[in-house]
Amino acid sequence: MKKAMRNYGIIAIVLVAFTFAFSNTTLANEEGPNKHVTQLKFIGNKENQPVFELNLSSAVEDEYTITFRDEYGNLLYSEKFKGANLNKKFMLKAEDFGDAALNVVVKSKKNNTTEVYSINRSHSYVEETVVNKVK
């Protein structure tokens, strides 16, 4: 009986040892040291021209290439920027692209990543009629 209990104890210790030896912790949304975040947003119109803001956040200094192209592949704008945390504003001439879709490509040199944003414009005319009871 004592021998059987000792065997169960040894088996339990071996199982616990294997559990700790072959387990590792994996965290969701783990960001590496070179992780960068880009965000492109429309912030309004200035002189009837659309203005966009591009935020580039990175833990280390990186080189970014920003390219604006229309839906036909025509190059509208391209420039390189260096830095860790960049905030750039772009005012586009609406007559250059009209209602055509634009693609904005952000390339990171160090991380070797590319992010593509699509800008679609549409115009609509809304007429609203409201009837209110006075008495």
Q: What is the pLDDT of residue 128?
A: 82
Whether residue 40 contacts residue 56, with contact meaning beta carbons closer than 8 Å, is answered with no
* Residue 17 in this model has a pLDDT that exceeds 80: no
Q: Report which of residues 66 and 35 the model is more confident about.
A: 66
Q: What is the pLDDT of residue 32?
A: 52
* Domains located in the chain, CATH noted: 36-119 (2.60.40.1930)
- On the CB side of 39, how many CA atoms lie within 13 Å of its CA? 10
Q: What is the pLDDT of residue 64?
A: 92
Please provide the distance, in angstroms rounded to a whole number, between the alpha carbons at the two ends of the chain.
97
User: Please, what is the average pLDDT of the chain?
Assistant: 79
Residues pairing with 97 in the sheet: none
Q: What is the pLDDT of residue 48?
A: 83
**Residue 103's Cα: distance from chain center in Å?**
15
* Residue 23 in this model has a pLDDT that exceeds 80: no
Q: What is the pLDDT of residue 2?
A: 55
Q: Which pair of structure tokens corresponds to residue 83?
A: 């830095």
Spatial separation of the C-alpha atoms in residues 83 and 56, rounded to whole Å: 9
User: Rounded to two decimals, what is the model's pTM?
Assistant: 0.63
Q: What is the mean pLDDT of residues 96-105?
A: 79
| 37-84 residue pLDDT tens | 889 998 988 888 888 999 988 878 889 999 998 888 888 889 999 988
Q: What is the pLDDT of residue 30?
A: 52
